[in-house]
Amino acid sequence: MQQNVLDTPIEYLKGVGPQRAVVLKKELQIFTYKDLINFYPYKYLDRTKYYKINELNSGINAEVQLVGKIIRLKTVEQKRGSRLVAVFTDGTAEMELIWFQGHKWIKENLQLNTSYVIFGKINNFNGLFSMPHPEMETVEEHKKSLQSALQPVYPSNEKLNQKNISNRSITKMMQQVFIETHHLFKEVFPESLINELRLLPKNESFFNIHFPKSADLLNRAQFRLKFEELFFIQLQLLSKNLVRKHKIKGFAFNIVGDYFNSFYHDHLPFPLTNAQKRVLKEIRIDMAHEAQMNRLLQGDVGAGKTIVGFMSMLLALDNGFQACLMAPTEILANQHFAGIKELADKINVKVVLLTGSTKTKERNQIHEDLENGTIHILIGTHALLEDKVQFKNLGLSIIDEQHRFGVEQRSKMWKKNSLPPHVLVMTATPIPRTLAMSLYGDLDVSVIDELPPGRKPIKTLHFFESKRLQVWHFIKEEIAKGRQIYIVYPLIQESEKLDYKNLMEGYEAISRDFPFPEYRISIVHGQMHSKDKDSEMDRFVKGETHIMIATTVIEVGVNVPNASVMIIESAERFGLSQLHQLRGRVGRGAEQSFCVLMTGNKLSADTKVRMDAMCRTNDGFEISEIDLKLRGPGDIMGTQQSGVLNLQIADLVKDQDILKLARTKAIELLKDDINLEKPEHQALKYVFEILAKKNNIWNYIS
């Protein structure tokens, strides 16, 4: 019964009708009564505030409210049609009210010399203020309609204005929908939770979000609705994780054997940090269960994720399984291969590399050796995902820098053995905790939050273009000390050609200022063959060249400890997270490292914040929080498509505390009643199941 009324198509609401319904559906996705009630104001105006005409100024760009009388009406002919102009005064000055349509009705209904409250946006033309299509009520009507001092303002657009669906019409519809339904909103939360958190009941929350009786009740209504929204998201994510652990069987690695122990006791190149030890333990315990591990390993650049990944692979080997590591670029795969091979050789573990440039003959051999089990560890690019690549017994897949890989690719990994291998995703992009909570609620997360000892913090400096000579001078000094330099150019996605031109111009200028043979330069960009890229990279790694000019291909993972200076050209064109990633390429050796941000002389306010943040802190999590605030969650890591961020009322940046609370409460609830069987959880279960069926919000990940 309840559903029937709330699911009533919007055209049946008194005062809407079929024509307006079309607009509501198309522009606001309001199809039913329920959708209308869930259409929340985005702000509230103080209805007790009345402007005077002589207080108006062109800086006001919100709607204003005035009280006064119309003293004259005139029709002005213009090229197309005519407009109706009313001269309006409140005793302090005069202004014009203008209608381009609907004159007749207005002329017949407006009364001269009667007090009206008018409401709308103001225009300013040569010092004369006017208000097109004002919303008007007589003072008597206004007093009656004034339910509270806070007037809701709903999101609007051109189309709605054209179709005469004003803020006032939405408000009227809202009043009507409350008349027709208002006793029907059933509470979803158990009484104990409502009492514990002093939540405003559902009925009152809906009412006060649209017609706040007071600022306090509005706050409580907002809190309650935000909490509810975030709570259900958390409930879905958490229960999905629990279900996965129940249902998705995995290989249990019970043994910590010779490979691991011999490496740990005899060949570890440095003592592990406490964070590395802790995370390794989390992974070991997770893989020891008969459920598939699906874990995210987060750690700032240089935190030492690779060795943790490698030692996790040794656990797989100890249990009779193979392991693989997939990297997003060939350069990075090569580097992982070189680094891991060095460690693996010491304990007779066979590692091979497979990328797009692996020769057919070699490739065939690899395929064979993978299937007969002589290869223990396979490292490579997405070439690993090809169907031809089959393992004898794959037990662990590690994916480095995961944001480059899509969900589909991840799921391909799952199919490489009879049971899905454990999956460890390593990322150096620190994801703000709130975002991680909302996006990866169904993944387990390990964090390496400590850098290996002895690292000197990178010094970051910002230079304007006009100070370029100074920067060049600095580079020469550093090269004289034996250091190597990166110079990075931005990638403009819209135009590869332009990128290339930019980079090449930079290259020529640098070649002029740093002439051969005193200075030797490498260059790497996206349009080069991977063989040439590798050989250029190689020269730099070996120290044969002083300067590496590159586009952002070097962004991920490359490790050259002697390179201690990172120059970022047109730094204003990079996002904060990306700047931080690039900076992470230096600071890997014993020397003091520098990051220099070059920008044009004129900076937007946003850019200033980004440059300042970079110069102030090296902390990836802090950077990611600032980034989230600047860009909003939608842009970060291409999460636009993940509907999870289409929140109705909550805001991942501003409502972090509510999110944490919602998560805690969802965990408590599931601990108490995992299948939502208790009578007091039935209302909640009902909503939960509707959301689960929709499933559009939560299927973005594995």
Q: Looking at beta carbons, which residue is closest to ligand ADP?
A: 304
Q: Shortest Cβ distance from residue 365 to ligand ADP (Å)?
A: 29
CB distance 548 to 575 below 8 Å: no
Q: Which does 304 bind (CB under 5 to 8 A by kind): Mg ion, ligand ADP, none?
A: ligand ADP
Sign of the C-alpha dihedral, residues 149, 150, 156, 160?
negative
At which residue do the structure tokens 């991977």 appear?
A: 530
At which residue do the structure tokens 């064109």 appear?
A: 573
Q: Which does 23 bind (CB under 5 to 8 A by kind): Mg ion, ligand ADP, none?
A: none
Q: Shortest Cβ distance from residue 577 to ligand ADP (Å)?
A: 14
Q: Which does 273 bind (CB under 5 to 8 A by kind): ligand ADP, Mg ion, none?
A: ligand ADP
Based on CB atoms, which residue is closest to ligand ADP, 273 or 607?
A: 273
User: Each residue of 368-386: b (16+ CB within 10 Å) or e?
Assistant: ebbeeeebbbbbbbbbbbe
Q: Which does 588 bind (CB under 5 to 8 A by kind): ligand ADP, Mg ion, none?
A: ligand ADP
Q: Shortest Cβ distance from residue 232 to Mg ion (Å)?
A: 36
Based on CB atoms, which residue is closest to ligand ADP, 311 or 636?
A: 311
Q: Which does 302 bind (CB under 5 to 8 A by kind): ligand ADP, Mg ion, none?
A: ligand ADP
Q: Which of residues 245-304 bind ligand ADP (CB under 6 A)?
A: 270, 272-273, 276, 299, 301-304
SS3 content of the chain, % helix, strand, coil (to 5): 45, 20, 35
Based on CB atoms, which residue is closest to Mg ion, 555 or 655?
A: 555
Q: Shortest Cβ distance from residue 425 to ligand ADP (Å)?
A: 13
Q: Shortest Cβ distance from residue 346 to ligand ADP (Å)?
A: 14
Q: What's the CA gap between 295 and 445, in Å, rounded? A: 6
91: left (phi over 0), alpha (psi -120 to 50) or beta: left
Q: Shortest Cβ distance from residue 305 to Mg ion (Å)?
A: 5
Based on CB atoms, which residue is closest to ligand ADP, 306 or 639?
A: 306
CB neighbours of residue 497 within 10 Å: 10
Q: Which of residues 579-608 bind ligand ADP (CB under 6 A)?
A: 588
Three-class SS state of 598: strand
Contacting residues for 659 by C-beta, under 8 A, at least 6 apart: 230, 234, 434, 437, 438, 650, 652
**CA-angle at 124, arms to 118 and 130, nearest 5°:** 30
Based on CB atoms, which residue is closest to ligand ADP, 155 or 561?
A: 561
Q: Shortest Cβ distance from residue 557 to ligand ADP (Å)?
A: 6
Based on CB atoms, which residue is closest to ligand ADP, 308 or 547?
A: 308
Three-class SS state of 596: strand
132 binds ligand ADP (CB under 6 A): no
At which residue do the structure tokens 């199941």 appear?
A: 689
Structure-block tokens of residue 71: 């003293």
Based on CB atoms, which residue is closest to Mg ion, 97 or 541?
A: 541
Q: Which does 373 bind (CB under 5 to 8 A by kind): ligand ADP, Mg ion, none?
A: none
Contacting residues for 137 by C-beta, under 8 A, at least 6 apart: 116, 117, 145
Q: Shortest Cβ distance from residue 485 to ligand ADP (Å)?
A: 19
Q: Among residues 91, 94, 170, 82, which one has the least CA distance to residue 131?
A: 94
Based on CB atoms, which residue is closest to ligand ADP, 457 or 632?
A: 457
Q: Shortest Cβ distance from residue 335 to Mg ion (Å)?
A: 9
For residue 574, the surrounding DSSP H or E stretch is none
First to last CA, the chain: 37
At which residue do the structure tokens 């931005």 appear?
A: 490
Sketch the per residue contact string, 406 through 445, with ligand ADP: x for CB under 6 A, - otherwise: ----------------------x-----------------
452 binds ligand ADP (CB under 6 A): yes
Q: Are β-strands 563-568 and 484-488 bridged in parallel, bridged antiparallel, or unpaired?
A: parallel
**Which of 30, 307, 636, 658 touches ligand ADP by CB under 6 A?**
307
Q: Beta partners for 75? A: 84
Residue 683, class by beta-carbon neighbours within 10 Å (0-12 exposed, 13-18 middle, 19+ buried)? middle
Query: Contacts from 674-677 at CB under 8 Å and sequence distance 24+?
Result: 674/239, 674/242
Q: Shortest Cβ distance from residue 266 to ligand ADP (Å)?
A: 17
For residue 524, the surrounding DSSP H or E stretch is strand 521-524
> Which residues of this protein are in contact with Mg ion, per CB under 5 A?
557
Based on CB atoms, which residue is closest to ligand ADP, 205 or 276?
A: 276
Q: Which of residues 550-579 bind ligand ADP (CB under 6 A)?
A: 559
Based on CB atoms, which residue is closest to Mg ion, 303 or 487?
A: 303
Inter-axis angle of helices 682-694 and 215-247, nearest 10: 70
Q: Which does 272 bind (CB under 5 to 8 A by kind): ligand ADP, Mg ion, none?
A: ligand ADP
At 598, give phi and psi (nearest 5°).
-100, 130
DSSP letter for each residue of 211-257: S-SSHHHHHHHHHHHHHHHHHHHHHHHHHHHHHHHHHSB--------
CA-atom Rg of the chain in angstroms: 32
Residue type, 102: G
Q: Which does 307 bind (CB under 5 to 8 A by kind): Mg ion, ligand ADP, none?
A: ligand ADP
Sketch the per residue contact string, 373 through 412, with ligand ADP: x for CB under 6 A, - otherwise: ----------------------------------------
Based on CB atoms, which residue is closest to ligand ADP, 290 or 342?
A: 342
Q: Which does 299 bind (CB under 5 to 8 A by kind): Mg ion, ligand ADP, none?
A: ligand ADP
Q: Shortest Cβ distance from residue 334 to Mg ion (Å)?
A: 13
Q: Shortest Cβ distance from residue 533 to ligand ADP (Å)?
A: 20
Q: How many residues bind ligand ADP (CB under 6 A)?
A: 16
CB distance 349 to 317 below 8 Å: yes
At which residue do the structure tokens 């304007």 appear?
A: 464
Contacting residues for 278 by C-beta, under 8 A, at least 6 apart: 446
Q: Shortest Cβ distance from residue 426 to ligand ADP (Å)?
A: 7
Q: Shortest Cβ distance from residue 492 to ligand ADP (Å)?
A: 26
Q: Shortest Cβ distance from residue 219 to ligand ADP (Å)?
A: 43
Based on CB atoms, which residue is closest to Mg ion, 212 or 557?
A: 557
Q: Among residues 318, 304, 582, 592, which one has the least CA distance to residue 453?
A: 304
Based on CB atoms, which residue is closest to ligand ADP, 32 or 446?
A: 446
Q: What's the CA gap between 125 and 132, in Å, rounded? A: 12
CA atoms within 13 A on the CB side of 126: 1
Q: Which does 237 bind (CB under 5 to 8 A by kind): Mg ion, ligand ADP, none?
A: none
Q: Among residues 665, 659, 667, 661, which one has the least CA distance to residue 433?
A: 659
At which residue do the structure tokens 């991942």 appear?
A: 652
Q: Shortest Cβ distance from residue 312 to Mg ion (Å)?
A: 14
Based on CB atoms, which residue is closest to Mg ion, 236 or 427?
A: 427
331 binds ligand ADP (CB under 6 A): no
Q: Which does 220 bind (CB under 5 to 8 A by kind): ligand ADP, Mg ion, none?
A: none
Q: Which residues bind ligand ADP (CB under 6 A)?
A: 270, 272-273, 276, 299, 301-307, 428, 452, 559, 588
